[in-house]
Amino acid sequence: MQISIKGGSKTQKKYAKDIIRFCGAKLMSKRLAKSLNIKVHFVKGLLDKYNQAGNCMWEDDSYRPKEFLLEIDADLKLRRVLQSVCHEMVHVKQFAKGEMRDLAGAERVSYNGKRYELDKDDYFERPWEIEAHGRELGLFVRWAEANQLGHLKWTQENERG
């Protein structure tokens, strides 16, 4: 897995790179994870401006893409930053495995063979978001435990800052 990171603090960069590798190993086969190219851009004010802590965009092909751009709000506390990375890595998995595809035309997505109109669906009812929200905390906690970071205060906080 190729990972490049722009922006953010040294700490954000260090932990983001590590948690991306961790998520790749937990969510995908070694072969698939190894084939991915992931760029991370830490962007200030993403949550305030767009009401998003992060987002995931494929950059090469809508069918089983291998190149992704993750934008993560750099203004959030470290735990929230890393949970957002975990959330977006679930979307990377969904795209890379062909579970989710952006469809041509207006805001349309195919997820596990079913088509969705994004302007007609509630964000929290979308099955790909249910999976991503459901897995982000578990991935973060397992990563923190695997790296023996659970005793650090920042791993236990979940406030915006």
Q: Percent helix, strand and coil across the chain, each rounded to 5?
A: 45, 20, 30
- Residues 95-116 have a mean pLDDT of 90
Domain boundaries, the chain: 2-155
CATH level 2 (architecture), domain 2-155: 3-Layer(aba) Sandwich (3.40)
DSSP 81-149: HHHHHHHHHHHHHHHHTTSEEEETTTTEEEETTEEEETTTS-GGG-HHHHHHHHHHHHHHHHHHHHTT-
| Amino acid found at 68 | F
Per-residue pLDDT reduced to its tens digit, 53-103 = 999 999 998 788 999 999 999 999 999 999 999 999 999 999 999 999 998
Does the reported pTM lie above 0.75? yes
